[in-house]
Amino acid sequence: MKNTFYKNFAILLISCAITSSLIARPATKLTDKMAAEQHQDVVELRRWFHQNPELSNREFKTAERIAEELQKLGLEVQTEIAHTGVVALLKGAKPGPTVALRADIDGLPVTENTGLDFASTKTAKFAGNDVGVMHACGHDSHMAMLLGAAKILTSLQAELAGDVLFIFQPAEEGAPPGEEGGAELMLKEGLFKKYKPDAVFGMHVGLNMQGGRIAVRSGPAMAAVDQFEVFVKGKQTHGARPWGGIDPIVISSQIILGLQTIASRQINVTKQPSIITVGKINGGVRHNIIPDLVELWGTIRTFDLEMRKDIHKRIVKTAKAIGESAGADVEVVIQEGYPVTVNDPELTAQMLPTLERIMGDIGVVTPDLVTGAEDFSFFAQEVPGLFLFIGSVPKDADPKTAPSNHSPFFTIDESIMQTGVRAYVDLTLDYMSQYKE
């Protein structure tokens, strides 16, 4: 009896040592196996989220389901952060760093046209209109992958050398007009003061890249986004007597062309690219009336903080100077949006071997700068951050022609979510194993 006890005890010690070694060692086969075993559960979660999308700051049922799944894992869950955000902290059994893992949870005002069996038929009010609602940017998969990672990491709690903060963030696509939301509001409400992470990781499907590929870029990766409005105030007159007034339509056309010279002729294009786009023009009511007001709306994309500030000043100066030259009053309003998403160079270099191990012979690619924006950038301003892309184009589709994010036809190859789960888990474990205070 005694010999049997010592024999079993010895086996238990060896087993624990092996498990501990697997977890401590970067790139474990154990976590790969666990990701594969629960892949179908992740797929089912993704499909539920896909069928039940909700707009920014209105993700009530989404948040309920996330909280329910986290509570099943025995985690203490905090809800209603930044309106509908959900967070949970997994306390490791051993001392170490705190790693934050983030997924966004909101859908878009897009009417789905994928033909999927689990396609969204949801509708909602947006800007006063009835609209379809769709996870047209892949946030459904982001949530499912992070919940899958949470399940694996929770099962390894006894061996974790550190804590894991799971962040399910609302309103990544932007809060409704007049409201605050997203990562910025989560931080404003004290998220990183209560749980100060040492590093934060996030990911995004899409980028019109073949399914399963991982792409990561050190330094500036995604653009800062700002919105501008230009109000050109002229003097109304008959269209047959333009000299009797001040034509804000002609002046607005000159302003539009003038703004294009900022990026092409005034900014050092060898440093970083920049984009100034006018996306909306509103003015006039009739073919033979020159109106007294024209409004221009546009977007600014930059990858450098000082360049961003400089372009803002040049937009104001250019628009006002053109208006003054024609006798019009011009008002410019610039609303800052998300900052540049910057991947911390040291953290990126540290974690690149982890991503390369996950990809094996396929390797990790360096993407071009992405002119889209991400409010993960607010988190990465507070602590070192790494934001990566996972290609999600279905196997039978051409990445060059496949529908991109925000399209009513956008869909993903669900098999890639196993790669995403592995990335969340292995980035966490490897960071913990390499951490030095």
What does DSSP assign to residue 413? -
Asked if 139 and 66 touch (Cβ cutoff 8 Å), the reply is: no
Q: Decide if 101 contacts 421 (C-beta within 8 A).
A: no
Q: Quick one: DSSP state of residue 370? A: B
The secondary element (H helix, E strand) that includes residue 33 is helix 29-37
Separation in Å, CA 31 to CA 35, 151, 269:
6, 11, 44
Is 414 a catalytic site residue? yes
Q: E strands within 256-339?
A: 275-283, 289-290, 293-302, 329-336
Q: HSE, CB side, 13 Å, CA atoms: give it for residue 165.
A: 23
Q: Is 293 exposed, middle or buried (0-12, 13-18, 19+ CB in 10 A)?
A: middle
Catalytic choice (159, 338, 424, 431): 338
Closest CA to 70 of 149, 162, 186, 171: 149
CA distance 365 to 346: 18
Q: Estimate to the nearest angstrom the gap between the alpha carbon of 171 and the chain centroid.
A: 10
CB atoms closer than 10 angstroms to residue 394: 16
Segment (H or E) for 316: helix 305-325
For residue 192, which of 411, 382, 432 has the smallest C-alpha distance?
382
3-state DSSP assignment of residue 293: strand
The CA-atom distances, in angstroms, between 281 and each of 14, 227, 257, 365, 385 are 71, 14, 13, 39, 38
Whose CA is closest to 110, among 401, 410, 391, 412? Answer: 410
Cβ(276)–Cβ(260) below 8 Å: yes
Residue 391, both tokens: 């290609």
Residues 376/102, Cβ–Cβ less than 8 Å: yes
E strand intervals along 315-402? 329-336, 341-343, 364-365, 385-393
Of 54, 112, 414, 424, the catalytic one is 414
Active-site residue flag, 338: yes
Alpha-carbon distance of 104 to 204, in angstroms, equals: 9
Report the catalytic residues.
338, 414
